Chain A
Amino acid sequence: MVTSLRPKPGPPRSYHFPDFNDQILPSGIRLVTAPVVKLPVVTVLVIVDAGSTNDPAGKEGVAALTAGTLLEGSQRFDGAELAEKFEQLGTSVESGADWDSAFIKITVLSDQLEEATKLLGEAISSPVFPEREVERAKAERLAEILQLETEPRGLADEKFSEFLYTQESRYSKPDEGSTESVSALSRKDVEEFYRSRYRSGSTTVIMTGDVSTDEARRLVTRAFEQWALGSAPNRPLTAAPRTTRKSIHIVDKPEASQSELRAGHVGLPRKHPDFFPTLVMNAVLGGLFGSRINLNLREAHGYTYGASSFYDWRRGPGPFVVSTAVQSEVTAPALREILLEIDRIRAERISDEELSLARDYLDGVFPIRYETTAAIASALATLVIYDLPADYYESYRKNIRGVSADAVLKAARSHLHPDELQTIVVGDARVIRDSVSDLGVGDLHVHSS
């Protein structure tokens, strides 16, 4: 039969995050290149400091709408022609905006790189935002919002943000805007947002894969000849919590077979000195399959298909959240277990076993994360967007290995706040209401959906 002797690991082979070059072109555009020759493929990722936190008040969604309609018509081609031209080259452009940045991305075979980059530069340097396409994109966003009404996972995420942050915070509203804000947006808003923010000093082009730095520089310089100069300051961001009193909100879904559950509070900004201890702490709490929350809720109790916790890292303090979906009848016991786990990790030092599992995983999995040109480009974008040091990836594994059990305990005590916990349940209020109100999770509010 199979040998009972567990194999020991061999000597590890060294790994380095791909070498990259970081330069500012004469136009002011930042160019980051990582030549990686494995397959004949290149990813071009353009990031612009034009994310959703730069939406003016009342115009929530304009950043997403701008990025989303950027490829819907240029001075030379209409939207359908642009889609056709890129796709004939075997690529298609993904564009959008998240909280911190707008992005435009293509992955293309290297023999089409020159033409695709040229077309991309031209298209996004001279967008015309046709009225018809802007209105269509708005209508599609409104359809998406309508879909959320019957999609418990997305609805729970959205309601969680809404109840977590003060109404003045951009984070309290959906990043792509609400029905009210999107309906009010016009073509003029989009054009204005584009003109003020899509500028050389706010733009980084990242090229990874089968392309040299010299070639990338030549291609980008030419493709972005018409790109506007200058830069735009970021809007100040408020990320204060809506309340520091514990509370629980039930969004009623009569007859729902499961409760979508979110519990958490305002977390930390990405560039925080406790980033590494907090990352390891969260891995033990709910970041891994073998984390406390998942083993407890899924493997010990069978309450759920999966349960996890995470810090949503943004420039400002994004949420810390525990997220799961449980059978309606066990909503209260599941929530109780989550609260117990948050208390427990703050009460005592994690075991050596747990510490090594989290550290070894985060350390060991590092090379597996950067197998593709798209993943490498995205890692480089993180450096740029969060202004991380150039040796961030080179020192990442050392930083992970340096986290001690004491540091984890300190992170848990400093950055988990059970007394301020906000809980959102999208589920059948009739079934869950009485049992969850006995848990001491704060004032109960029931909302009809």
Chain B
Amino acid sequence: MGLHGGQFTTMRIPVETFHLDNGLFVTLSEDHTAPIVAVNLWYHVGSANEKAGRTGFAHLFEHMLFQGSAHVGSNEHFELIQRAGGTLNGSTWLERTNYFETVPSNELALALWLEADRMGELLPAMTQEKLDTQRDVVKNERRWSVDNQPYGTMLEKMQELVFPPSHPFQHSLIGSMEDLSAASLDDIAQFFATYYTPDNAVLSIAGDFDSIEARRLATEYFGPIPRGKEAPSLPSMNLPPVFGNRLREVVPDNVSLPRLFMAFRSPVFGSEKYYAASVASAVLGMRKGSRLHRTLVRERQIAADAGAFTFDLAKGTDLLVVDVTARPETSVTRLEDEVEREIDLIYREGVAEPEVKRAIALIETDLVASLQSAGERADRLSMFATYFKRPELINEQADRYRSVTTESVNDLISERFGEDNRASLLYVPREGVESESILAAAVGAD
């Protein structure tokens, strides 16, 4: 059985939803093409929910969720799923944490039971020793992906630059070594009780299953887990649509080539204007035909690479980021000037119809291609359910992108691409910093 009725315009992913009495929101999407099924859980908690002095905790906690629960031994979750022929992982982001497995369809019950056991009864399995080991693992993850990796500090430096102090998105996701050292078993217990509750989670199942059986299993395993005490709400995330002035930080780092990340505050994920921003980002930096690639990489040859992306934040404000790496012979000043010039040009003159069409066409193909995977379908259902309580939005994405017009992209650009809404994070090779007047310029920029 296929998922489409012959042409793209009629493509619909089937979506069923229901709630358990304890508040767990369940979404189901059947597809019997292959005997595999994806189970996906989103907990509406991320680094934004961490308290002061505990940066990195949400992510450390994610690691602890693989360390066993009442009826599952340490690392047994991994073993049981792999033994069943499944794949699995988890990830932590600013505003959510997800856990997912794709298994042969006759192992659906196992995947659901494992997720329920750790949602219901994690704490009996927690020990100081496990916490200490995972703390070391996470510190090594930090060394590997942040400290010992060129441009690896981008995410945390960017958060620090563009969000005001005390804003929930301002602090590091992976956390500081100091805060990771300070995390205790008490923190684990408290975080678990507060956020890992059925009413703060979405369960999605996509692929080859029987709807009645899946409902029965979800109810049997997750039903007995008590509702939480309602997670404390985040402080106000709202921010003005623009920074209000130029922001700029220079990071001398162990890198070979200068690289500029320029961020703009942009409309939150899922909002009407978000789609225009997403298209604007694709016009600027998606693939070789994009504006920045064509001008900076191909024509002027000052950049080795150029791209753009959005963070897809659903609260407060999103960020649209332009990312350009210099060629070795390009000076830091020139890199910055040329990118600035391109943004100025777009801000002044807008973008043209064919550029918008190109961007939308690419986005549509990616959208359809990604929905081939059961894991992707389940993850997107969870995302739309978590942020908007509307998993069926998965079927509206293509239409929402198609209804973006050149005019709406240009409106977005005039609203958000002005000089008062640009934050530059500029990586420069540590050696040779003195010979550039770049640091002095940084001081003068504010």
Contacts and interface: CB of A to CB of B under 8 A. Distances in A.
A411 interface: no
B113 interface: yes
Contact of B150 (A10, A89, A147, A374): A147
Contacts of A366: 85
Interface in A130-161: 136, 139-140, 142-144, 146-153
A58 interface: no
B140 A325 contact: yes
Contact of A290 (B35, B79, B86, B139): B79
Contacts, number: 254
Contact of B369 (A147, A370, A372): A372
Interface in B238-258: 254-257
Contacts of A305: 137-138, 140-141, 144-145
Interface string B117-130: 10111000000000
Interface residues of A, number: 82
A13 B35 contact: yes
B82 A290 contact: yes
A144 B304 contact: yes
B395 interface: no
Contact of B140 (A80, A108, A258): A258
A148 B254 CA distance: 11
B327 interface: yes
Contacts of B141: 305
B140 A364 contact: no
A90 B74 CA distance: 46
A83 B8 contact: no
A2 interface: yes
A365 interface: yes
A184 interface: no
B297 to A, nearest CB: 8
B442 interface: no
A1 B6 CA distance: 46
A139 B301 contact: yes
Contact of A325 (B35, B143, B256, B369): B143
B374 A371 contact: yes
A109 B368 contact: yes
Contacts of B139: 327
Contact of A109 (B83, B150, B327, B365): B365
B372 A295 contact: no
Contacts of B70: 1-2, 4
Contacts of B103: 364
B136 interface: yes
Nearest to B110: A7
Nearest to A209: B372
A256 B144 CA distance: 10
Contacts of B368: 39-41, 109
B288 interface: yes
A66 interface: no
A372 B429 CA distance: 40
A170 B167 CA distance: 53
Contact of A368 (B71, B86, B140): B86
Nearest to B259: A147
Given A139-B301, A373-B372, A39 B83 contact: no
Contact of A146 (B71, B108, B110, B256): B256
A327 B140 contact: yes
A219 to B, nearest CB: 18
Contacts of A257: 143, 147-148
Given A3-B113, A87-B358, A303-B140, A13 B105 contact: yes
Given A327-B143, A361-B83, 19 more contacts: A1-B225, A2-B224, A40-B6, A41-B372, A83-B294, A88-B354, A89-B361, A91-B362, A91-B365, A109-B8, A150-B429, A301-B133, A327-B139, A357-B82, A361-B85, A367-B36, A368-B36, A371-B374, A372-B373
> What are the 6 A-B residue pairs with the smallest beta carbon separation, nearest first?
A364-B85, A302-B136, A7-B109, A90-B361, A13-B35, A305-B141
Interface of A: 1-4, 6-15, 37-41, 79-80, 83-84, 86-92, 107-111, 136, 139-140, 142-144, 146-153, 256-258, 288-290, 295, 298-305, 325-327, 356-357, 360-361, 363-368, 370-374
13 contacts: A2-B113, A4-B71, A39-B371, A79-B298, A87-B361, A152-B148, A258-B143, A305-B140, A357-B83, A360-B82, A364-B85, A365-B87, A372-B369
Interface of B: 2-4, 6-8, 11, 31, 33-36, 70-71, 74-75, 78-79, 82-87, 102-110, 112-113, 116-117, 119-121, 132-141, 143-145, 147-150, 208, 220-222, 224-225, 254-257, 287-289, 294, 297-298, 301, 304-305, 325, 327-328, 354, 357-358, 361-362, 364-365, 368-369, 371-374, 429
